[in-house]
Amino acid sequence: MLVSVENLSKKYSRKSDYAIMDITLHGDAGEIVGILGHNGAGKSTTIKCITGMHPYESGTVTICGHDLAKEPLLAKKCFGYVSDEFALFEKMTGMEFVNFMADIYQVSAQERESRIEEFQKLFALGDSIYNPISSYSHGMKQKISLMGALIHHPKVFILDEPMIGLDPHTASAVKDFFRKHSDEGNLVLFSSHNLDTVEKVCDRVYIIDQGRILEEIHMKEFKEKGMDLEVYFLTVTQRVART
């Protein structure tokens, strides 16, 4: 099990309600796992707790066998993360940023050179990688975020709303990359409210609403039954809203 989350609960200060409650989810090698929910359902909070960006009240998060609370540095070495907000150092050039991330994760010169070359082709960045990030468009920033998160070839690749702002070509290339990365024995875990992306890409999907996991869907079986994810998602979330 590359990612294991057990009974994770998080409450924001100044708020009486829990943002997420008793979240339990797993991700294994070779899988693409999606967390699906509408805006404010608790997807980003879950992802931020898993990555250690937000402290949590109770529960355990284990990444590559390392408890995030007890061995945070070992756990953090195992994953790469792309956030929904552009957490980028805008005064750096794209190349400097990727190189900086490689330094932080202690990637060798040879490895980083070959990976940068590979990603430059994958994301069609060209020479604009040498320009300051502040001059980049939304999509370009997303591409650089992806490169920075992947430069150390993480076993676990975590993303929060990764497809926002990407052009159709890059979005397709990213989806292909997800599959390639998981086929190499890694895990891709991402949150999204885009039903289409989740349906096409994921092996397993967790539906989240009001801070709780409502359903776990195995996409292969789901598709074999001829079910429609959109109809199912709306039915499940509306049922919860009514209760």
Partner 1 sequence: MKNFLTLFRFEIKELLAINRGKRRFDFLGTLVSLAISFLILFILGIFAYAILESYIEVRFDKVYDTLGRTHEFLNLIYTVLIIALAFLSLLRMRRVLSDFPGKELFLRLPVKSSTVFLAKLSALLLANYLVAFPVILTANLVVYLVFKPPFVFWLLTALVLVLLPLVAFILAALLLIPFLCIIRLISRSYLAVFLTLCGALTGAFILYAKLLSLIQQMFTLGSIRFLFNENFVNFMQKLTRITFPANFLANLALGQRVGLSLLFVLLVVLLGAYAVYLITHTLYRIALYKNKEVFVVHRKKKKISVRSPFLALIRKEFVLVYREPRYAFSFLAMALCMPIMVYSCFTLFRTLIENTLGLNVDFALSLFITLIFCILTNTFCATNISREGIAGMKNKLFPLSPKKILISKVVFCFTVSLLSLLMSVILLVIMTDVNLFDALFLLLFGALFCLSHILIATRMDLNNARLDSDSVTVENTENHTMAKTTLTGLIFAFLIGTLSVALLIFATGGSALLTIGAYVGPAIITLIYLSVALFYYLFRLENSFYEMVG
Query: Which residues are near partner 1 by CB under 8 A?
Result: 51-55, 73-74, 76-77, 81, 83, 85-93, 95-96, 99-100, 102-106, 108-109, 112-113, 116, 127, 130-132, 134-135
Q: Measured from the CB of residue 106, what is the shortest distance to partner 1 in angstroms?
A: 7
Q: Measured from the CB of residue 109, what is the shortest distance to partner 1 in angstroms?
A: 5
Provide the CA 242 distance to its chain's centre, in angstroms: 30
Token pair in block for residue 165: 């702002």
Query: Contact, 19 vs 211, CB < 8 A?
Result: yes
Q: How far apart are the first and last CA of the chain?
A: 34
Q: Measured from the CB of residue 215, what is the shortest distance to partner 1 in angstroms?
A: 29
Q: Measured from the CB of residue 101, what is the shortest distance to partner 1 in angstroms?
A: 9
Q: Measured from the CB of residue 196, what is the shortest distance to partner 1 in angstroms?
A: 28
Count Cα atoms within 13 angstroms, Cβ side, for 190.
Answer: 31
- 33/95 with CB nearer partner 1: 95
- 14/225 with CB nearer partner 1: 14
- 6/96 with CB nearer partner 1: 96
- 29/74 with CB nearer partner 1: 74
Q: How far is the C-alpha of 130 from the C-alpha of 133, rounded, in Å?
A: 9
Q: Measured from the CB of residue 174, what is the shortest distance to partner 1 in angstroms?
A: 20
* Residue-by-residue DSSP string for 177-207: HHHHHHHTT-EEEEEES-HHHHHHH-SEEEE
- 87/240 with CB nearer partner 1: 87
Q: How far is the C-alpha of 109 from the C-alpha of 115, rounded, in Å?
A: 10
- 84/203 with CB nearer partner 1: 84
Q: Which helix (H) or strand (E) holds 109?
A: helix 109-122
Conformational region of residue 65, where left means phi above 0, alpha means psi within -120 to 50, and beta covers everything else: left
Q: How far is the C-alpha of 81 from the C-alpha of 44, rounded, in Å?
A: 12
